[in-house]
Amino acid sequence: MKVLPTYFLSHGGGPWPFMMDQVGHLYARLDASLRDMPRQIGVTPKAVLVITAHWEEHEFTLSSSAAPPMIYDYGGFPPHTYEVRYQAPGSPELAAQVQQLLEAGGHPARLDPQRGFDHGTFSALYPVYPEADVPIVQLSLKRGLDPLTHLEVGRLLAPLREQGVLIVGSGLSYHNLRAFNAQGAAASHAFDGWLRAAMALPPEERKAQLLAWEQAPAARMAHPREEHLLPLMVVLGAAENDAASVPYHEDAFMGSLAVSSFRFG
């Protein structure tokens, strides 16, 4: 079995893949990068494990439904975006396996059979697997958002890469919704530049830099709250010694913001 890479995806805003007639010009590069992922990966994964920025629990929690419902966790979008269906199956078996991996590594985890797909999952994966034919399990963040804890959990997930499971962190490399426009341009460019430079470092230096991310230029301007950055720690932990690349980057997202996605392996 091919060892699959891991990805941190900047997933864009709200239900954008279902509004391409209105916003396609803003998302053309992101859309193209996501649609290219099957070619990059080279095989169809057995399943996708998504660490989503839009779900936080006191303990790491996994969606365990065989047929997850939808969560429309956004507001102010056209009516049809509240009727979107991304009907990928879940995988109770994978959810239980991940729970066992985490608990064996000292991190309590639980299953949630009611949890549906949030937009950090379905907006990111619809362009990748538009036929919704690859099973998906979501993994929450743990409240407190400690970067080392999330990196350690990523290490526990590493064996899944050899079993055909694609590990994806869904967030945004810049997430300050109060300055998601030209006001945030300088901060997004400073932080994104630091982030891409950190990715090019040797593994130990890269890890040290990312764990100390709050010391980066414009860190708290780019992430007033770090839930959209923490999925990166998990996918890094799952591919800790692998080289990083940048499958998606643009300097003028929404007209002025710098954003990136990263691949490990």
pLDDT in tens, 65-81: 999 999 999 999 999 99
pLDDT in tens, 204-215: 999 999 999 999
Give a yes or no: residue 148 inside a domain: yes
Alpha-carbon torsion, ordered 25, 228, 103, 67, to 10 deg? -40
Could you give the number of structural domains in the chain?
Answer: 1
Per-residue pLDDT, averaged over 4-19, amounts to 96
Q: Which domain holds residue 167?
A: 6-264
Q: Supply the CATH number for residue 156's domain.
A: 3.40.830.10
Give a yes or no: residue 27 inside a domain: yes
Q: Tokens 């590069």 appear where?
A: 29
Give a yes or no: residue 229 inside a domain: yes
Give a yes or no: residue 254 inside a domain: yes
Q: Nearest 5°: CA angle at 161, between 157 and 167? A: 65
Beta pairing class for 136-142 and 109-112? unpaired
In angstroms, how far is the first alpha carbon of the chain from the final one? 15
Give a yes or no: residue 236 inside a domain: yes
Give a yes or no: residue 1 inside a domain: no
Which pair of structure tokens corresponds to residue 128? 């990748």
**Nearest by Cα to 172 from 117, 237, 240, 224:** 224
Report whether pLDDT(1) > 80: no
Q: What percent of the chain has pLDDT over 70?
A: 100
Q: What is the pTM of this model?
A: 0.97
Give a yes or no: residue 127 inside a domain: yes
Per-residue pLDDT, averaged over 218-229, amounts to 98
Q: Report the Cα 172 to chain-centroid distance in Å.
A: 8
